[in-house]
A and B are shown apart, each in its own frame.
Chain A
Amino acid sequence: MIEKLAQLHPEIALFAATCIVMVLGLAKSSFWRGMSVWVTGLGLVAALVLSFFSPQTDGMLPNSLPYLKAMIAAIGLMILPLMGGTVDRWYERTVGRGASFDPLRVTRGEFYAFYLLSLMGVMLCVTADDLIWLFLALELTSLPTYIMVAMSTPRLRSQEAGVKYFFLGALSAATFLYGFAMLYGATGTTQLQDIAIHFRTEGMGLIGTLGLVMALIGVSFKIAAAPMHFYTPDVYQGAASPVSAFLAFAPKAAGFVVMIQLLSTVGWGWGEHGIALPEALRITLWVIAAITMTFGNVLALLQSNAKRMLAYSSIAHSGYMLVGLLVGPGQGPIAGNGLGAAMFYLLCYGVMNLGAFAVLACLEKRDEHGELVEIETVEDLRGLHAARPGLAWAMTLCALSLLGMPPLLGFWGKLGLFTSGISAGEIGLVVIMGLNSAVAAFYYLRLVRAVMLDTRDEDMDRPALTDMFGRRVAAGLSAVGVLVVVIWAGQLQAASDHATEVNPRIRQFNERVVEAEETPVIESIARND
């Protein structure tokens, strides 16, 4: 009990902050209401610090807690300044002008509470060692985001996005729950470890395979991968940019962690050389990865709306990361761990994607009703260099990094994925990935071209800089991160590799099966707690 609690310290910190934030958000004094964002930040800092002291677990990925949780908390901290002022901005102004305060009309407390709860859900996905726990953690990640989308702007479009997101989310939950049920049916247990041992002693079986495939398809909603990716552009466009930036990270992180947990129950010890997933899963993931990245990139190419473009690119990036999952912990003289590469890429993606959204969130223009709204189109970004060189550079760096241009952060992420893919012999997929990266160049460079090279026509009105300082901070953090984190790229990659080592107990188990195929030995290990 106490040992289990030690694994949950970061989550507990977040939960405590959540409770405080909810109350603070309703405070009568605007000072205390304003404190809610600081308490959110404090909670995240506490979670970040506590993450580093997370113990080893006995789950599928025993070393995963410190790296993954610290990553989640760190990216959460980076997104937080961007979140500032997303909700309640106009209402707070009217209150500031002397209107009476109505606690029913403020949503700030809930907004940050949902933010924290969602991040907590991602962390719980990391800690989970049971199917039911996984399900609850995944839903805890997603449910708050549905509401965050709907409340992020007062416009009807956000509400439509929220509802759409919710319905498709429910469909995905049903799908992976269905998969979980079949896994339980096939193995008779919900404990991931026991499932793993069952798979290794008795084989996958058709129901087990089907269950895993269904679960993967369901979870692909969270990472915005085919065939559950359709919502992404509609929702990202409908939500306010800060929330879109968050959507591109938190559910994605949760989805990938859950996928890794699920896949490690079967392990990568199958196939001809004993380094691949079982054929059915391999083909499923292969197809999902290929379709996801191609679909995302080709459609991103068409968008004139920068937010939709980034949404499609978010789909494409999920496709890249799936390559790492397909490869697994891999072996080879040079190439490394595909899981580690994917988790490192997730970190890179979190940093660089934030900047792109942050630049959009920093700029505002008047819509047809004369209200200030965040800019969305590439057209709005044209000639940014002349007006706001700092933001233009932030956008350039982030876009180039997303494209994978050396020496920026994105390149190092992609390098790991490429090498691991090749090391596992997935040449076909790596070629598709390479072609996709080339396609991606077209639209990322369009962003760069718009901000750096294009000039603004005289008759166009200039987007105004938002008065929310936090958003500029977020853009700056991301741009600096893209450059500076590279220095620690090696260490981070190593940490990520370490974090994604599959439980040696189960691994050893796998080897025994390959060696001897004797059940008694296996059972003795299974019972050896």
Chain B
Amino acid sequence: MLLSRIRSGRRFSCRQLFADRIYHVTGSYMEPTPLLLMLLAVFAPALTGAITLLAPRETTTSRTLLALLGPLVSVASLAMFMNSFGVGVADPSHVTLEFVPSFGLNFAFNPDGLGLFFAFLVSGVGALIVLYARGYFGPDENALYRFYPTLGLFATAMLGLVLSDNMLAMLLFWELTSVSSFLLIGWNRDDRTAVQLALQALVTTGLGGLALLGGVILFAQSTGTWLFSEATTIVVQGADAMAQPGLLPWAFVLMFLGGATKSAQWPFHYWLPGAMAAPTPVSAYLHSATMVKAGIYLFGRLVPAFAGVEFWTTTLVAFGAVTMLLGAFLALRSDELKKIFAYTTVSQLGLLTCMYGLGALSYHEEPNLIWPITQILNHALYKAPLFLMAGAIAHAVGKKYLSQLRGLVRVKPLLAWITIAAAYALAAGPFTLSFVAKEAFLYQIYHAVEWASWMWFIAGAAVLTAIFNVAIFVRIVVTFFRSPESDAPPAHDEHHAHDGWAIWLWLPALALVAWQFIGGIAPGLYERLIAPIETHAMYWDHLPTVFSAAAHAGVPLMLSAVATALGIVLGLSPFWRTPVVDPHNKIFPESVSFLSRMGWGIFATIQTGNIRHYTYLVLGAFLLGLVAAVLHDPDLLNLPVIASIWGGPTGFILASLCVFTLVCATAISLPIFKSRIVRVLVLGACGMSVTGLYLLYQAPDLALTQLLFEIISVILFLLVLRLLPEEPPRVRMTGVLGRAVFSAIVGISIGWIVLQAGSHVDAQSAPGKLGEFFLANSYEGSELTEGRGGGGDNSVNVILVDFRGYDTLGEITVLSIAAMGIFALIAAAPRQAQDRMRAVSQQHLSSSLFQTSMRLILPLSLIFAAYLFFKGHNEPGGGFIAGLVASVALAVYRMAKGPEALKSLLPIKPGTLAAAGLLIALITAIVPVALGYPILRSHTGYIPLAGSDPFHYSTVVFFDFGVLIVVVAVAVGVINRLTEELET
């Protein structure tokens, strides 16, 4: 992506390129080191992960070392921020790489305490997981080949997520973590359930990601910036500094949904135990130590900004407490080790959500947050080891259920003891960091009680949770120490060879859990490491270890003691031992099936595949629109002005009514008749009635054309109908009445609205102008037509041959081409149809009266056509109409005399004739150009005649003649093709 930004022709240095991209808060350029380091820290794991793909497939050692390099480089680069640049949003380390500025998307990083802590967690645990995976998968090169790149991708996504200051960039990484989690949960591709669970996790977190996107956009909208750091400052400054303060609560709601789905808060927690289908390294890394904490990270990032939103605390604390309690209870009622740890993870995530919920309150004018980073870290330090050990135990003795692990201390003492140590931290026993964290949390609740007394319920929930955790620890210990069911040592699950890497099955867990005790026993060392990145360590200068807690004994310590005692009792008691299934597991499958049931419902009703139903729906929507319009303006129901014919003279009214009745009657009767011939005739009658309409409105040319056209189409129809097979018996249709009514309603509504629209046009009177223009200029011409008229009185004809002569030229060309198409199509008809045509074309009407009269009618018709042609320029007529008249005459002649008659009468091929007509028209159009005039310019003049008016002539007559020839040629050609014997 960087390369694309390099402008061509400019030499560049990589260093300069980076320096250009660095945005410094003060606006000055600076050395690129922090940005480079940051990019290195974020992208190193993905990079080395990708490089492992290049290593030969059978190498495992170098593959592992290479994959290990990524997280280690990240740790080293991040350490530089601790040393050289300092922690926090201070200017020097605020680094930005422009990516898509127009979207507001830049890779802006913010290595403050929260971000750096998470980054260390991700890269540090990541390095351990790389090693553990080598022990877990053994030298299985196929598994490692797939595993390391995916893991690297995830690590980069997670690092990017926690270090980004730009909200969109964070979102981008956020979704990437969902995808890599999806790939890892569905690791075992032959396991359909695992794939289903992977999908469930991806859809749930993806949905949350979408909510987060909405929240981020709203947040940016309300503050006017895409940067977390700036947005927080703006919000803290108050409503005046914000662009749209009203959006802030909505932004909170959506962002909470995003965080809650990712961090498995009730009721979305179901995906996390489901995600345990993934291999154990993944469960330990993604689903306990890092990815599921993304939501917690988000809450931590947003606490300062949303502290002012009133329901932040209520929402977070309520959801967190429910999750915390439910998770702990379900953990107690589970038997599978990974399930137990998954549910305790859910519980702990609830607790952390609660913690940030309480953090929005203030206590002595400080946020009510006590060692939050330590509280988060504490969980990773015992939960990841627990998962790692669950995997190691399953690996070593092949058992996954706690009830099967009796006597583990004797069989595998090392694994058992590390598990017990980590479980001791789970129970928050004294001398662990966990104890410290629990104390801090209880103090937070204790402070919050001053704010609202219902916080006592939260305290109760916390105590109950602690009781369950202690009980789980007790059960683990008791089970491990009981004598095994059988004396035979459990068989080792020999699915792969062992090698020197097997120690990495337990060493990472030990390395992590050791910190629990270092923090609990020797807080000084721990504090020195954590202090620079701990965000709120202000209440105590030191960790509230067991020593200081004992020294300042108060309510929280008392609650701890009670919880421990009751927990031991519960752990030893026989109560609540049978496993239960979480009812929330049904949420996802049920919603999928609900959606699909709903969809099928719609599908069956609407998507029938029947085109008539689609038409109903479309027209129905159309009618709805009309109804809405009428409701909005009832005036639409009044008869529009111009629609009224009552104002005219009596004759006009009567004639209009007659024509109207004729048109409607013929149109309506059309579907009633059954025979094709009758239908064609009725259709012709309808068309000829329309002719009357044109006459009434004084359009003789149009009327003539319409009339001739109707005649010729009826003749052609009749010619074609003879070729069709026998009419099949009609199937009785059902529901005709309903359809007819519907059609009538649609038709009448559409017609009505057209009338209404037409009446509006009248007010504009625009079309009138056009008519007047042509009438005024058809003979004489005016200024608008450059002083030149068409030289004819029949404005319709003048429009055809002069004003719109171009169009006519185009039209006759199209007509000729269409005719060729018809010729070709009929020639290409299936053989069966050709045979039928041949049979039919042998017949002709043999009435001798008809034949004889044709001898007279044909010449007369042709003379009439010639008359119309020459009159055309000034009276109704013209080339087109004359052509139609001639065609009708020829068609009738053909019907009477048979196929050969027309051929002998007109020896030229229709195609040639059409070409000749086109040529004539074209030459007429071009000759003026040769003479220096515009194309299609006509010449008019008078030839004086003795004893009579001078003869008026116009060169457009040639053009019109071309039109005539084309029309005749097309008609004759079509008739011939339809009737004549076809060449084989």
Interfacial chain A residues near B202, Cβ < 8 Å: 441, 445
Q: A210-B753, A445-B199 are in contact. List 9 more A-B contacts (CB 8 A).
A: A164-B611, A181-B754, A206-B632, A207-B753, A227-B618, A298-B595, A438-B206, A453-B186, A453-B189
Stretch from A329-337, A354-362, A471-479, A506-514 forming part of the interface with B: A329-337
Q: In the complex, which residues 165-202 of chain A have their Cβ closer than 8 Å to any Cβ of chain B? A: 167-168, 171-172, 175, 178, 181-182, 184-189
Residues of chain B within 8 A of A439, CB atoms compared? 595
**How many residues on chain A are close to B (CB under 8 Å)?**
78
* Stretch in A48-56, A229-237, A269-277 with 4+ CB within 8 Å of B: A229-237
Q: Check B636–A206 contact: CB distance below 8 A.
A: yes
- Of A171, A184, A416, A442, which one neighbours B615 at CB under 8 angstroms? A171
Name the distance in Å between A134's Cβ and chain B's nearest Cβ.
Answer: 18
Cβ-based interface call for A209 (8 A): yes
Q: Say whether, besides A164-B611, A207-B760, A453-B195, A299 and B214 are in contact (CB < 8 Å).
A: no
Question: Which residues of chain B have C-beta atoms less than 8 A from A175's C-beta?
Answer: 618, 622
A423 touches B221 (CB 8 A): yes
With both chains docked as a complex, state the minimum distance between the C-beta of A294 and any C-beta of chain B, in angstroms.
Answer: 9
Instruction: Please determine whether B614 and A430 come into contact, CB atoms closer than 8 angstroms.
Output: no
Q: Which residues does chain A contribute within 8 Å of B618, judged by CB atoms?
A: 168, 171-172, 175, 217, 227-228, 230
- Complex Cα gap A113–B644 (Å): 49
CA distance A181 to B759 in the complex (A): 12
CB contacts (< 8 Å) of B190 on chain A: these are 455
Q: Which of A69-77, A118-126, A458-466, A487-495 contacts B (4 or more CB under 8 A)?
A: A487-495
Residue-wise, chain A 352-374 has the 8 Å CB interface mask toward B (1 for contact) of: 00000000000000000000000
Chain A residue contacts of B112, Cβ below 8 A: none
A178 CA / B746 CA spacing, docked (Å)? 13
Neighbour of A406 across the interface among B175, B599, B629, CB < 8 A: B175
C-alpha spacing A280/B632, complex, angstroms: 10
Interface of A is mostly: helix
Distance in angstroms between the alpha carbons of A487 and B3 in the assembled complex: 10
Whether B221 contacts A418 by the Cβ 8 Å rule is no
How many whole Å from A383's CB to the nearest CB in chain B?
Answer: 9
Q: Is A407 interfacial (CB 8 A cutoff)?
A: yes
B179: Cβ under 8 A from any A Cβ: yes
- Which 7 pairs of residues, A with B, have the shortest CB-CB distance? A185-B757, A188-B764, A227-B621, A188-B766, A230-B614, A490-B100, A490-B102
Instruction: Out of A184, A206, A301, A335, name the residue touching B599 (CB < 8 Å).
Output: A301
In the complex, identify which listed stretch (B53-61, B533-541, B600-608, B784-792) lies at the interface while the others stay far away.
Answer: B600-608
On whether the beta carbons of B211 and A434 are closer than 8 Å, the reply is: yes
User: B921 contacts the other chain (Cβ, under 8 Å)?
Assistant: no
Report the separation of the CA atoms of residues A418 and B633 in the bound assembly, to the nearest whole angstrom.
35
Question: Given A302-B599, A418-B213, A434-B211, does the pair A205, B195 have CB atoms closer than 8 Å?
Answer: no
Partner of A494 from the list B102, B172, B603 (CB cut-off 8 Å) is B102
List chain B residues, Cβ under 8 A from A491. 102
Given contacts A230-B607, A454-B189, A489-B103, contact A407 B172 (CB under 8 A): yes
Q: Which of B175, B189, B625 contacts A217 (CB 8 A)?
A: B625
A-side contacts of B579, CB under 8 Å: none
Contact A184 B761 (CB under 8 A): yes
* A464 shortest CB reach to chain B, Å: 23
Q: Is the CB of B599 within 8 A of A185?
A: no
Q: Which residues in window 259-280 of A have CB below 8 A to B? A: 280
Assembly CA distance A110 to B598 (angstroms): 43
List the B side residues contacting A419 at CB < 8 Å: 217, 221
Smallest CB separation, A14 vs chain B (Å) = 19
- Check if B723 is an interface residue, CB within 8 A of chain A: no
Q: How far is the CA of A427 from the CA of B635 in the complex (A)?
A: 35
Closest to B171 in A: A406
Question: Is residue A214 contacting chain B, with contact meaning CB distance below 8 A?
Answer: yes
B582-615 contacts to A, CB under 8 A, are 592, 595-596, 598-600, 602-603, 606-607, 609, 611, 613-615
C-alpha spacing A418/B171, complex, angstroms = 14
Q: Are A490 and B103 neighbours in the complex by a CB distance under 8 Å? A: yes
Give 19 A-B contacts (CB < 8 Å), ordered by A residue. A171-B615, A182-B754, A188-B767, A206-B635, A211-B757, A217-B621, A280-B632, A299-B602, A301-B596, A400-B179, A416-B103, A422-B218, A427-B250, A438-B203, A441-B202, A441-B207, A449-B186, A455-B189, A487-B4
Chain B 239-271: CB-based contact to A (< 8 A → 1; otherwise 0): 000010000001000000000000000000000
Residue of A nearest to B754 (CB): A181
Question: Are A299 and B614 touching (Cβ within 8 A)?
Answer: no
A437's nearest neighbour on chain B, judged by CB, is: B210
B388 beta carbon closer than 8 Å to chain A: no
Q: Look across to chain B and name the residue whose beta carbon is closest to the beta carbon of A491.
A: B102
In the complex, A301 Cα to B758 Cα: how many Å?
46
Chain A residue at minimum C-beta to C-beta distance from B173? A406
Note all chain B residues with C-beta closer than 8 A to A227: 617-618, 620-621
Which residues 196-231 of B have a CB within 8 angstroms of A?
198-199, 202-203, 206-207, 210-211, 213-214, 217-218, 220-221, 224, 226
Query: Are the C-beta atoms of A434 and B195 separated by less than 8 Å?
Result: no
Whether B598 lies near A298 (C-beta < 8 A) is yes
Tell me the bound Cα distance from A406 to B613 in angstroms: 40
Complex Cα spacing A439 to B206, Å: 10
